[in-house]
Structure 1
């Protein structure tokens, strides 16, 4: 998402600018309005960069890119089957070329750069901050979850020179992955949403994860502001890591009484009513995103607005009106086979133990319609290491505390949760996600509230899509 887009008449890159940035050679003049590394997402006017990866070489997709409207392509060589006639920027290494474009974009923009990482909540916080900054100026926000070694430079290369703010997400699976991305961004402000037990497949402890997250400070050149979660057990560790790198300001957020930006109260069922103390000023506002965890993330957003010199009143308005991204808690009203309706909470994009428990609290806040029930549809959480079975099983207590009436599960790991639940709560277990659809079609009834959540690779988003399709011939609710 780009919260505020510069004038489309101003090109993002010209052939001359890209040649100077990369040291490459253009076969003919061109102008690009965007940058893409995936032919499936190429927009008309994009510069397509043909990355040569471990599994495939994107040079074979040049014709597809130009068919989609690409203005030019960055390549290492001209494929023998390329039709020709289209502008090409020839470089020695296309990934290195992407990095050089990103570095040039960073140098040419006088934007305030904000980098966000964390075990959970980083994408939602990034989207909320991008929206909240829109009244304060031109904002470039990384799209979706473009947060890795390809996504961060791509997002930075998309930043126009007249941007006032840049908001970028950084993810990681292993130690050492955040440092080069932080040094690419050189952020003035760094946010760590929280540190939790995720990616334990690749780390020996949560403390190791905390140290890896602290790499976000490596690109801050001994200055700037670290915005940290005061409620998290690793706050002191992260604050110390920031100080050892010369970070001159640490701003805390959370519910802890000592937080600089403190969540005072929260009331939610759908949209949330929030009261907060923002560095000594008490404010009340509406938050469009559901759940207490969203209100906690909003404290980080408000901290960044204050530190970054943004328009606080404008930010509060945007936080109350912004749309909920698909797969991240969006609520849908679906039509059932009998013509009645149920509510689906689509939280299918990602899952960890912490985000699962946060979603259960959202479900608990929901009030089903007359005769309706609270239902959870859950798929596997990934990258939990050797303790995965125990971690899935351990969700049972918090899930039952939500007042859930029925639980449907899918995947090898979620079988352990299914086994831990009382028989009266077990609505069925499947091996594959698509097997849930007919089961749900038979199970759902008027007024039900259905939480759908899993790691993205479990494809529960397809279940939400299937439920969102109205039945072709609804039968009457009375069976007539």
Structure 2
């Protein structure tokens, strides 16, 4: 053997190399679901909405309360589906099962069991999707494409098993978001995922209409810990008022606990955060305690103090999952805002450009306060807040809407457009604060619909250097306003 050949190192062996490259093939789907395959096939994806089918997908024909997915099987094949999972024979390649919803759940379990991926579950009242995406970006960078996550907000009883079913056998990490509207919804999702790491972003009065109290919300979110595998890690926000309650629930289950936050007792603790030139933050954190403690300095591209706290949770999750912290720091420095959840969009106006902060997907009292604070910290010629009604607050709605007057005043906004009946109380409260002695001198407009808000914002007129925050619950349809002014696709 030549000296040159002697210097070559063999490619490292990896058991994952023996796993299939295709996401699913007919025999594996049939075995997982207990169904019968009509044809041989290999699939690269799984989809339940025929409009989203891409070439190579399996289409699952789910039976909903108002719609039978079997009606859309031909449309799915027109878009490139290679097979369908159905509960009756169709004139296309398919796997015939007794119940397509049960088959979806079975396919998710099979994907979980065949993969050696470290699974991370994420829940919380605020920031689930952003934190999920940040953890994914950190692990994706470190594993060079070996990470998987749930897309969009696929976090319910259908979205979670679908996200599992899409996880490749060769994945090294899987990140799954779990949401809820009512009590009893988190535990089944955690049982599907069986995470190695479970993170709660924060506890706030989201869905309080259905759960009744902040304590009940905390208890429901803490049910994510019931799904942890033996030896799993619960990651808890140390600065939240419900932290002792969450820690108690984790202790009852005997899982490992890691806390994150500003407090001196946090396991992942903020030491310092200073604004960076790009509008984000330069963060220094201490990981661990005592002689084993270490420090990590990294940048966070996303603006706002809430993203400093989010980043600590992300780092805690990556560390618990065995990810690379250096790669995580680089990923956090490069992350941009998500559509509907903080994306910053430029709008061409006379003499230059204005900026629109797209928070149109969702809103609750805690996220409203956080984004208004970020708006106040954003350099601007004028600050404009377009705020839609917050949903699922029940008897607390009036109080929580009125309480937004304080963060609006603190943000020093110049103009507010309030949309929907729920914003009545805020409009009244802002009227009371109109005197200079109360620190609020902005102009305020109140309307019923997003279409009217578009007209009001056009009448107000955007100029160079303006910054517009658009935020409200999804049912308000504020994405229509974002699309109108920023030209983003619907």
TM-score by length of 1: 0.92
Mapped pair 1:255 → 2:262 = yes
Map 1:423-438; keep pairs closer than 5 Å: 423=434, 424-438=441-455
Mapped pair 1:314 → 2:331 = no
1:478 aligned residue: none
Task: Give, in angstroms, the shift of residue 221 of structure 1.
Answer: 4.0
Q: For residues 245-302 of structure 1, what are the alpha-carbon distances to aligned partners after superposition, in whole Å with 9 as ceiling and x for unaligned?
A: 121x100001111111112233346222222222222222211112110110110110
2:465 aligned residue: 447
Mean CA deviation greater in 419-428 or 346-355: 419-428
Distance 1:465 1:359, change over 3 A: same
Distance 1:39 1:417, change over 3 A: same
Which of 407, 410, 422 aligns to 2:416? It is 407
How many Å separate the matches in 1 of 2:342 and 2:45? 29
How many Å separate the matches in 1 of 2:67 and 2:106? 22
Mapped pair 1:72 → 2:83 = yes
Task: Give, in angstroms, the shift of residue 415 of structure 1.
Answer: 2.2
8 Å contact from structure 2 (residues 218, 246) kept in 1: yes
Which of 29, 32, 45 aligns to 2:43? It is 32
Gaps of 5+ in 1: 1-5, 471-480
2:10 aligned residue: none
1:53 aligned residue: 64
8 Å contact from structure 1 (residues 51, 95) kept in 2: yes
Mapped pair 1:303 → 2:316 = yes
Q: For residues 440-463 of structure 1, what are the alpha-carbon distances to aligned partners after superposition, in whole Å with 9 as ceiling and x for unaligned?
A: 122122211111111112111111
How many Å separate the matches in 1 of 2:360 and 2:456? 18
1:359 aligned residue: 371
Gaps of 5+ in 2: 1-16, 435-440
2:484 aligned residue: 466
Determine helix, strand or coil for the equivalent of 2:209. coil
1:183 aligned residue: 191
Which of 322, 325, 345 aligns to 2:357? It is 345
8 Å contact from structure 1 (residues 141, 155) kept in 2: yes
The total of aligned residue pairs comes to 455
Mapped pair 1:397 → 2:399 = no
How many Å separate the matches in 1 of 2:82 and 2:178? 29
Determine helix, strand or coil for the equivalent of 1:226. strand
Determine helix, strand or coil for the equivalent of 2:198. strand
How many Å separate the matches in 1 of 2:346 and 2:27? 51
How many Å separate the matches in 2 of 1:430 and 1:239? 44
Task: Give, in angstroms, the shift of residue 339 of structure 1.
Answer: 5.0
How many Å separate the matches in 1 of 2:362 and 2:270? 25
Task: Give, in angstroms, the shift of residue 390 of structure 1.
Answer: 1.6
Determine helix, strand or coil for the equivalent of 2:421. coil
How many Å separate the matches in 2 of 1:78 and 1:463? 44
Q: For residues 38-66 of structure 1, what are the alpha-carbon distances to aligned partners after superposition, in whole Å with 9 as ceiling and x for unaligned?
A: 11211111100000011111110111111
Mean CA deviation greater in 434-443 or 358-367: 434-443
How many Å separate the matches in 2 of 1:262 and 1:59? 52
2:239 aligned residue: 231
Determine helix, strand or coil for the equivalent of 1:251. strand
Q: For residues 374-396 of structure 1, what are the alpha-carbon distances to aligned partners after superposition, in whole Å with 9 as ceiling and x for unaligned?
A: 11110011000111012101110
Mapped pair 1:113 → 2:130 = no
Map 1:7-406; keep pairs closer than 5 Å: 10-78=21-89, 84=91, 86-137=92-143, 138-247=146-255, 249-268=256-275, 270-279=279-288, 280-336=293-349, 338=350, 340-368=352-380, 372-406=381-415
8 Å contact from structure 1 (residues 179, 218) kept in 2: yes
8 Å contact from structure 2 (residues 351, 463) kept in 1: no
8 Å contact from structure 1 (residues 278, 302) kept in 2: no
TM-score by length of 2: 0.90
Determine helix, strand or coil for the equivalent of 2:171. coil
C-alpha RMSD of matched pairs (Å): 1.8
Determine helix, strand or coil for the equivalent of 1:70. coil
Task: Give, in angstroms, the shift of residue 468 of structure 1.
Answer: 1.2
Distance 1:352 1:78, change over 3 A: same
